[in-house]
């Protein structure tokens, strides 16, 4: 009878064989195995040298050079590797958690002390919660009720890097990489994902993306629904209202074609609208149940039209949902979202879909804390992306192998008041670790 360790080792071998097929030369198989193995082992720092030491303790120097070349210089395709990881994990995700329901757009930062690593600049770093010296990468993840997986990953290149030939040369940034905003990068990732014909989902994103009208418009043009965060200052029309039609043609010149406003017919901010709603417009919604407390808050959702620059248009913006969260006891509303989900969508379903975005936080936490996503110490473009792709590959294997408990099952059993913490996360609650000892894989070992 084959032991569980043997089963997992065999599964890992099969997984690596599938990955080797898309990274080119056969001589990359060994460093691929070693790198992914090292990422899943209990090493405090998962940069190249510690990975070499833990995977080949008797020949650290040679292994270090091998892994350094593999991750920093070898010209294999990140897109091809991530696609293979997705193809491997997707059937297992669907089997355990049902159909893919969401695509999650987000970004994450990596604090850096120096200034030479590719893309480093003083910018907002979510990990620190403030402006600081860091790198920022944009990602797209697929998600369902049971799991989520990053399927696209790209470094955000600030203008000071994109427009500096010397920096570009030193970091070996590809010529085709030009300056793009984070929403522009994300929209390209979404377009590319659609071309793969993988199951589409509702696009979920925070206000860093949702506040960009071009991003929202691009998603609609692609035929995708979204639930995206927006700022309380968003200009909107009251439900049932919109801009005034173009002026009546006088019979001379070109007929007026632009919508208009008047002194007594003006839009207002999303915050002002939310605060003007009656008390019975707000409902308490539980989106997940727990043993000690329910995850719940007060919400309202109204159908309205965004007013942003509609005076430059010949027609009003389409109606969509404005979802607002105002927790009981807070002095003002907390969060705002726009959504193009159908008009028939129930408030509970709208909230549940919106709150599914928390999964990306879990992905980032595990990728950083357990798999060393932010530990790469090289300075080049290729190495940054290769290391991230390999971390996601390791994550994809662990995700495929472990048992995933969907939130719906937790809600039914009332076994946790918090979002389900997957095995291997570092939480205050008891958790299992996906870390492995030398070439032995036990996802459930403490």
Domain ranges of the chain: 4-206+359-413, 226-249+256-355
How much is the average pLDDT of 205-210?
97
Structure tokens at 91: 């059937």
How much is the average pLDDT of 155-181?
96
Q: Is the pLDDT of residue 216 over 90?
A: yes
- The residue behind tokens 């290769």 is 386
How much is the average pLDDT of 217-221?
97
350 exposure class (CB count in 10 Å sphere: 0-12, 13-18, 19+): buried
- Give pLDDT, residue 314: 80
The 3-state DSSP class for residue 142 equals strand
Per-residue pLDDT band at 291 (split at 50, 70, 90) = low
**CA-to-CA distance for 112 and 99, rounded, in angstroms?**
38
345 exposure class (CB count in 10 Å sphere: 0-12, 13-18, 19+): middle
Element (H, E) at 388: helix 381-401
Q: Is the pLDDT of residue 31 over 90?
A: yes
Structure tokens at 399: 């995700």
DSSP-derived secondary structure for 364-379: HHHHHHTT-TT-----
Q: Is the pLDDT of residue 433 over 80?
A: no
The C-alpha torsion from 222 through 224 and 226 to 228, rounded to 10°, is -20
Percent of the residues in the chain that have a pLDDT greater than 70, as a whole number = 88
Per-residue pLDDT band at 405 (split at 50, 70, 90) = very low
Q: Which residue has the higher pLDDT, 395 or 2?
A: 395
Whether the CB-CB separation of 372 and 426 falls below 8 Å is answered with: no
Helices 29-39 and 381-401 pack at an angle, to 10 degrees, of 70
- Give pLDDT, residue 114: 82
Q: Is the pLDDT of residue 295 over 80?
A: yes
The mean of the pLDDT values for the chain is: 86
Count of Cβ atoms closer than 10 Å to residue 248 Cβ = 8
pTM exceeds cut of 0.75 = yes
**CA-to-CA distance for 145 and 96, rounded, in angstroms?**
9
- Give pLDDT, residue 247: 78
**CA-to-CA distance for 148 and 199, rounded, in angstroms?**
13
- Give pLDDT, residue 236: 96
Angle at 432 between CA 440 and CA 420, to 5 degrees: 135
pLDDT tens digit string along 368-393?
A: 999 999 999 999 999 999 999 999 99
Structure tokens at 95: 């089997």
Whether the CB-CB separation of 228 and 213 falls below 8 Å is answered with: no
Start-end of H helices in 176-295: 182-195, 207-210, 213-221, 270-276
pLDDT tens digit string along 83-117?
A: 999 999 999 999 988 999 999 999 999 998 888 99
Per-residue pLDDT band at 15 (split at 50, 70, 90) = very high
Element (H, E) at 226: strand 226-230
**CA-to-CA distance for 33 and 12, rounded, in angstroms?**
9
pLDDT tens digit string along 326-353?
A: 999 999 999 999 999 999 999 999 999 9
Strands (E), 70-225: 102-111, 121-125, 130-143, 148-155, 202-205
- The residue behind tokens 């700022």 is 231
Percent of the residues in the chain that have a pLDDT greater than 90, as a whole number = 70
Per-residue pLDDT band at 6 (split at 50, 70, 90) = low
- Give pLDDT, residue 414: 36
pLDDT tens digit string along 116-162?
A: 999 999 998 878 888 889 999 999 999 998 889 999 999 999 999 99
- Give pLDDT, residue 437: 34
- Give pLDDT, residue 271: 98
**CA-to-CA distance for 109 and 139, rounded, in angstroms?**
11
- Work out the end-to-end distance of the chain between its first and last CA atoms, rounded to an integer number of angstroms: 24
């Amino acid at each position: 009878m084959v032991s569980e360790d043997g089963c997992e080792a065999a599964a890992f071998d099969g997984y690596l064989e599938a990955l080797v097929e898309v990274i080119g030369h056969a001589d990359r198989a060994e460093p691929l195995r070693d790198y992914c193995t090292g990422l899943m082992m209990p090493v405090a720092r998962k940069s190249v040298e510690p990975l070499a030491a833990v995977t080949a303790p008797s020949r650290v120097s040679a292994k270090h050079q091998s892994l350094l070349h593999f991750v920093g210089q070898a010209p294999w395709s990140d897109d091809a590797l991530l696609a293979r990881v997705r193809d491997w994990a997707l059937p297992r995700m669907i089997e355990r958690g049902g159909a893919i329901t969401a695509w999650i757009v987000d970004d994450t930062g990596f604090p850096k002390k120096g200034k030479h690593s590719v893309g480093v600049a003083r910018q907002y770093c979510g990990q620190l919660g403030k402006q600081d010296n860091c790198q920022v990468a944009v990602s797209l993840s697929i998600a369902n009720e049971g799991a989520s997986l990053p399927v696209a990953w790209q470094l955000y290149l600030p203008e000071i890097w994109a427009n500096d030939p010397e920096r570009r040369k030193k970091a070996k940034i590809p010529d085709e990489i030009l300056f793009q905003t984070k929403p522009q990068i994300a929209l390209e990732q979404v377009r590319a994902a659609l071309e793969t014909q993988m199951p589409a989902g509702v696009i979920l994103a925070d206000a860093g993306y949702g506040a960009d009208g071009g991003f929202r418009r691009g998603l609609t043009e692609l035929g995708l629904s979204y639930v995206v965060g927006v700022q309380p200052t968003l200009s909107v029309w009251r439900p049932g209202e919109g801009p005034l039609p173009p002026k009546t043609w006088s019979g001379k010149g070109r007929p007026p074609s632009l919508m208009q406003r008047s002194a007594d017919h003006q839009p207002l901010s999303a915050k002002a609208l939310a605060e003007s709603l009656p008390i019975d417009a707000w409902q308490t919604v539980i989106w997940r149940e727990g043993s000690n407390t329910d995850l719940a808050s007060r919400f309202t959702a109204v159908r309205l039209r965004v007013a942003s620059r509609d005076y430059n248009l010949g027609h009003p913006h389409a109606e969509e949902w404005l979802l607002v969260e105002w927790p009981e006891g807070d002095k003002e509303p907390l969060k705002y979202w726009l959504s193009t989900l159908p008009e028939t969508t129930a408030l509970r379903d709208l909230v549940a879909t919106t709150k599914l975005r928390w999964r990306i936080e879990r992905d980032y936490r595990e990728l950083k804390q357990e798999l060393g996503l932010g530990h790469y110490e090289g300075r080049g473009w290729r190495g940054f992306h290769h290391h991230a792709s390999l971390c996601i590959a390791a994550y994809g294997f662990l995700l495929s192998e472990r048992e995933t408990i969907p939130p719906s099952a937790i809600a039914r059993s009332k076994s946790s008041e918090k979002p389900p913490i997957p095995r291997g996360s570092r939480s205050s609650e008891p958790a299992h670790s996906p870390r492995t000892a030398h070439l032995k894989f036990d996802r459930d070992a403490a």
